[in-house]
Amino acid sequence: MDVDTGIDDALAILTASLSSEIELLGCTTTWGNIDVDQAARNTAYVLDVAGRVDVPVAKGAAGPYDGSVAEFSPEVHGADGQGGKADLAFAPALADETAVEMLLRLSRAHEGELEIVAVGPLTNLAHALDADPGLAGRIRAVTIMGGASFVPGNVTPGAEANIWHDPEAAQRVFEASWPVTVVGLDVTMRSRLDEDDRSRLAAGGRAGRYAADILDYYFGFYEGVTGERSSANHDALAVAVGCGLVSTVVAPVVHVEVDTTHGPNRGRTVADLRGMWRGWPEMAGARHRVVLEVEPGFEARMIDLIAA
Positions in the binding site for Ca ion (CB under 5 A): 4, 9, 119-120, 235
Binding-site size for ligand BDR (CB under 6 A) equals: 15
Q: Which stretch binds ligand BDR (CB under 6 A): 55-63, 136-144, 156-164, 174-182?
A: 156-164
The site string for ligand BDR over 11-40 (x = CB under 6 A, - otherwise) reads ----------------------x-------
Interacting partner of 173 out of ligand BDR, Ca ion, none (Cβ under 5 to 8 A depending on kind): none
Looking at 4, 186, 197, 235, which residue is catalytic? 4
DSSP state of 69: P
48 is catalytic: no
Q: Which stretch binds ligand BDR (CB under 6 A): 4-12, 47-55, 78-86, 250-258?
A: 4-12
Residues 6 or more apart in contact with residue 153 via CB below 8 angstroms? 159, 160, 164, 185, 267, 268
Nearest CB to ligand BDR, comparing residues 122 and 135: 122
Residues 6 or more apart in contact with residue 81 via CB below 8 angstroms? 4, 5, 6, 7, 33, 34, 38, 39, 42
262 is catalytic: no
- Buried (b) or exposed (e) across 167-185, using 16+ Cβ within 10 A? bbbbbbbbebebbbbbbbb
DSSP state of 68: P
Nearest CB to Ca ion, comparing residues 73 and 156: 73
DSSP state of 283: G
Nearest CB to ligand BDR, comparing residues 178 and 218: 218
Footprint on residues 116-155 left by ligand BDR (CB under 6 A): 119-120, 145, 154
CA dihedral of 19, 123, 248, 198, whole degrees rounded to 10 = 50
The residues annotated with a catalytic role in the active site are 4, 234
